[in-house]
Amino acid sequence: MLIKSRPSWFLSENDATPESIYKQRRDIVKKLGIAAAAVPFASQTHAGLFDVFSSSNDKVTEQDSRMALEGASSEFSTKGLALTPENKVLTYNNFYEFGTGKGEPAEQAKNFKTTPWTIEITGEVAKPVTLDIADVMKNMEIEERIYRHRCVEAWSMNVPWLGFPLASLLHLVQPTSKAKYVAFETLYDPDQMPGQRGFSSIDYPYVEGLTIAEAMNPLTLMTVGLYGKTLAPQNGAPLRLIVPWKYGFKGIKSIVKIHLLEKQPPTTWNLLAPDEYGFYANVNPNVDHPRWSQASERFIGEGSVFSSVRQETLMFNGYGEQVASLYKNLDLKRNY
């Protein structure tokens, strides 16, 4: 008899949220007849200020036009999490291209066009390519992963993302031995993104980066949806990065370019305030932000975002078992 041992991060849907809620959502998806195909693919202002002075009314300000999207249950979902309600995920977020207040992105991004959309992958690769997002969505095997999401502003959420491993995408282009880092770039379109015209402290387009080892880690997710639907514009549609052991600003949104290179790339917040936002940005309760403690966080669940439960911050956001070895010889206080 074969006995399968599940990893520590495994979480079934029934463990994460009431069965009735998930069943209702999946019934709707099935009735719509939409599912992802599982086919292998051949400083003026810094983060934190707006957490104090802005608010969200927890209402989606537009009719939800996102497409239903179903993904296979993943063994990489995190164990024992109560989910943040979908309306909070949609209305309480940072996306400065669409405004600096928590509720602004949902309002400012409602007419954002995500089709057509292409992703260019270049640099230290054997097979550079430009992919259409529709082909990516059709041919990648989509998984649903429930991850902790920790903002550098010391608030957190638990989100059921839909996506595929970044490693799957990078394998297509065959990184060379010189590929030590992976750089990402957000769309630059001031006509659609008013924040790119008004928030002058940031030199747009927004850029981010990972080491190649971080990019290839099984937890690193290219995300195309959440809560059983494609991503909303304010959440980074149509494609964003999720690295669950790092602060949320590493999760670059609306990606159009991926570039593999030999040297460490510049990143937006590190350029803007290097004493506050490092390249690595690993969640670390022992390293405070210069202006606030990182030892605890407000978990945004049911009720008002300002009356959320305070909880202890976990090293690597609770994913140390899977990622601590990446930083074995790195001073995490100097390399924050």
Q: How confident is the model at residue 207 (pLDDT cuts 50, 70, 90)?
A: very high
Q: Is 151 annotated as a binding residue?
A: yes
Q: pLDDT tens digit string along 255-312?
A: 999 999 999 999 999 999 999 999 999 999 999 999 999 999 999 998 888 777 899 9
Q: Is 97 annotated as a binding residue?
A: yes
Q: pLDDT tens digit string along 35-91?
A: 333 333 333 334 443 343 334 444 554 456 799 999 999 999 998 899 999 999 999
Q: Is 188 annotated as a binding residue?
A: no
Instruction: State yes or no: pLDDT of 131 exceeds 90.
Output: yes
**Domain segments of the chain as ranges:** 13-327
Q: Is 6 annotated as a binding residue?
A: no
Tell me which CATH homologous superfamily contains domain 13-327.
Answer: Oxidoreductase, molybdopterin-binding domain (3.90.420.10)
pTM: 0.84
3-class secondary structure per residue, the chain: CCCCCCCCCCCCHHHHCCHHHHHHHHHHHHHHCCCCCCCCCCCCCCCCHHHHHCCCCCCCCCCCCCCECCCEECCCCCCCCCCCCHHHHHHCCCCHHHCCCCCHHHHHCCCCCCCCCEEEEEECECCCEEEEHHHHHHHCCCEEEEEEEECCCCEEEEEEEEEEEHHHHHHHHCECCCCCEEEEEECCCCCCCCHHHHCCCCCCCCEEEEEHHHHHCCCCEEEEEECCEECCHHHCCCCEEECCCECHHHCCCCEEEEEEECCCCCCHHHHHCCCCCCCCCECCCCCCECCECCCEEEECCCCCHHHCEEEECCHHHHCHHHHHHHHCCCCCCCCC
Q: pLDDT tens digit string along 147-174?
A: 999 999 999 999 999 999 999 999 999 9
Q: pLDDT tens digit string along 99-117?
A: 999 999 999 999 999 999 9
Q: Is 144 annotated as a binding residue?
A: no
Q: Is 93 annotated as a binding residue?
A: yes
* pLDDT at res. 309: 85
